[in-house]
Amino acid sequence: MTTTDVQRAAATALAASAIDLTKTYGAGETAVRALDGVSVGVEAQRFTAIMGPSGSGKSTLMHLLAGLDTPTSGRVFLGDTELTSLSDRQLTTLRRRAVGFVFQAFNLLPTLTARQNIRLPLDLAGRGVDPGWERSVVEGLGLAERLGHRPGELSGGQQQRVALARALVTRPEVIFADEPTGALDSTTGAEVLALLRRSVDEWGQTVVMVTHDATAAAVADRVVLLADGQVAGDIVEPDADDVLEAVRTLGRA
């Protein structure tokens, strides 16, 4: 066993979990049940993909796990803390400390430089920079030469690497990524996936990634399949063929 294997074996803790979650948008005849009884545990220091067709509830599940939205019923835990028992203010404080986000559309602030964007979560949380860690992240993501650039002066792949650096800089308990390669070409997307993978393997981060792409999902340690707001499968150590086969099976169900 390598050191990483030993660390993983020891890391049986759940970084995030959901118990019997439902989420209904709207009311009456136009109500949409986006999640319908989802229970899932996300292991710490692992890369978990949430996969399913468009409209299956992936983003809704991610938003609930990350405390960006509240469920209609059910319970959500980040580590040992029950998010569904916190006030909005407590939730905001916890999110700033413990959660990092990467979105499909990068969501960088256009008037700030790459360095200012990366430090934004620290500024919002009133925390200082850990210079050694910031340097590791910036160099590990190949951004050292780009720190003075604004997002408009960077390629899509570079912008997403800035967004990943921004998610990593606080050393959050969980990084949530929603279709992080959705706006990138396949080569650049593969680079971003490899960096998410490295965040787990080299830096011990916990990553939860939402995707509808089987190739992207296969980079994860585990794939949780969603269909119609329910968990429809769970694949450990997937390869792309396993994921494609599971998706085909879903299609036949």
Query: Which residues contact Mg ion by CB under 5 A?
Result: 58-59
Picked from ligand ADP, Mg ion, none, the partner binding residue 109 (CB below 5 to 8 A depending on kind) is none
d(CA 199, CA 88): 29
d(CA 115, CA 16): 29
Q: Which one, 138 or 223, has the nearer CB to Mg ion?
A: 223
Number of residues located near ligand ADP, criterion CB under 6 A: 12
Widest distance between CA atoms in the chain: 56
String of b and e for 114-124 (b: at least 16 CB within 10 Å)? bbbbbbebbee
Q: Among residues 17, 48, 56, 160, which is the contact residue for ligand ADP, using CB under 6 A?
A: 56
Stretch that binds ligand ADP, among 11-19, 25-33, 103-111, 155-163 (CB under 6 A): 25-33
Residue 52 found at the interface with ligand ADP (CB under 6 A): yes
Residue 17 found at the interface with ligand ADP (CB under 6 A): no
CB of 104 to ligand ADP, least distance (A): 10
Picked from Mg ion, ligand ADP, none, the partner binding residue 56 (CB below 5 to 8 A depending on kind) is ligand ADP
CB of 58 to Mg ion, least distance (A): 5
CB of 110 to Mg ion, least distance (A): 23
Stretch that binds ligand ADP, among 51-59, 77-85, 88-96, 244-252 (CB under 6 A): 51-59
Residue 60 found at the interface with ligand ADP (CB under 6 A): yes
| 51-67-136 Cα angle (round to 5) | 75
Q: Which one, 59 or 84, has the nearer CB to Mg ion?
A: 59
For residue 34, give the H/E element and its range. strand 32-43
CB of 51 to ligand ADP, least distance (A): 9
d(CA 235, CA 144): 37
Strand partners, 49: 209, 223
d(CA 46, CA 221): 6
CB of 63 to ligand ADP, least distance (A): 8
Parallel, antiparallel or unpaired: strands 81-82 and 73-78: antiparallel
Residue 57 found at the interface with ligand ADP (CB under 6 A): yes
Picked from Mg ion, ligand ADP, none, the partner binding residue 170 (CB below 5 to 8 A depending on kind) is none
Order of all β-strands in the sheet with 99-103? 99-103, 174-178, 207-211, 47-51, 222-227, 230-236
